[in-house]
Amino acid sequence: MTRDFIHWHGHRVCVSELGHGQPLFLVPGIGCSADMWQPFTHYFPNRRIVSFDAPGAGRSSTPLYPVPVASVASLAAAVLDSRGIDRTDVIGFSYGGAIAQQLAYDYPERVGKLVLAATNCGLGSLWGSPGAMAMMTTPLRFYSPTYFELVAADLYGGVTARDAARRQSASGARRRLPPSSYGYAMQLLGGLGWSSFGFLPDIRHETLVVCGDDDPLVPIANARLLAERIPRASLEIVERAGHLLLWDEPERIAPQIGQFVGWG
């Protein structure tokens, strides 16, 4: 994987790239760097995979003020410009799914096929369990393996909840490049008030909505809502999968996504 930095509106943004072929643009979740995609990207060896660390996460600079979702979508378009990519398939996970929806709406010509994984439409969504939502307000899980072990089952569900070895792996991946507390707070605040509910019918891309039925953070009602309101969307509900389904079970999930976007 190669890394480069671009400058965008006063932010220093880390852009990661791996492989060759048709581009595949990955948008990570809150607090996460592009490195978090590695277990998933192994299943796409024939694609040119591009991702970035949003301001406040990974190797990118920490913003002084919150960067709204719509602005991060504009940054995503700038990342594609920096790579010379006119159009790409896009996979957005969780918070990254919000950015991917906004990118598809604001820059429809830049997006080929769209995958929305474990995500929702912001305001207008059915929120997750109160305990899980409260746990998301702190980045402590990125720093403390003890805390991660304590909250992982209730926060993420799925294989992370059932498999101690997978929890240990997930915990270690977060500790390798954690966000600062301030950067994480800026990302949280940047999402406040955002909603795609009104413009979902205007997303005309062929879309795959993927969710697990054991996700404490994003109940499956949200995936159904996205699939119903996006005109060309299909829905894939993965049994016993949790919020981290792309990392918990890439061997199970990646082939479904690969068939949708194409392997090469």
What is the predicted pLDDT for the residue at 125?
97
> What is the SS3 assignment for 241?
coil
> Other CB atoms closer than 10 Å to residue 120's CB: what's the count?
28
What gap in Å lies between CA 53 and CA 187, rounded to an integer? Answer: 11
pLDDT at 263 over 90: no
pLDDT at 118 over 70: yes
pLDDT (tens digit per residue) in 57-103: 999 999 999 999 999 999 999 999 999 999 999 999 999 999 999 99
Mean pLDDT value of segment 4-16:
97
Work out the percent of the chain whose per-residue pLDDT is above 70: 100
The pLDDT-based confidence of 1 (bands split at 50, 70, 90) is confident
Amino acid at 64: L
What is the predicted pLDDT for the residue at 39?
87
| Top-confidence residue, 39 or 187 | 187
> What is the SS3 assignment for 193?
coil
pLDDT (tens digit per residue) in 189-214: 999 999 999 999 999 999 999 999 99
Mean pLDDT value of segment 221-247:
97
pLDDT at 24 over 90: yes
Q: Which residues contact 154 (CB under 8 A, 6 or more apart)?
A: 129, 131, 132, 135, 161, 216
> Other CB atoms closer than 10 Å to residue 255's CB: what's the count?
12
What gap in Å lies between CA 224 and CA 229, rounded to an integer? Answer: 9
The H or E element containing residue 181 is helix 181-191
Q: What average pLDDT does the chain have? A: 96
| Catalytic positions, written as ranges | 94
Mean pLDDT value of segment 125-138:
94
- Class of domain 2-261 as given by CATH: alpha beta
The pLDDT-based confidence of 264 (bands split at 50, 70, 90) is low
The answer to whether 26 touches 34, Cβ cutoff 8 Å, is yes
Question: Can you spell out the DSSP letters for 55-100?
Answer: TTSTTSPPPSS---HHHHHHHHHHHHHHTT-S-EEEEEETHHHHHH
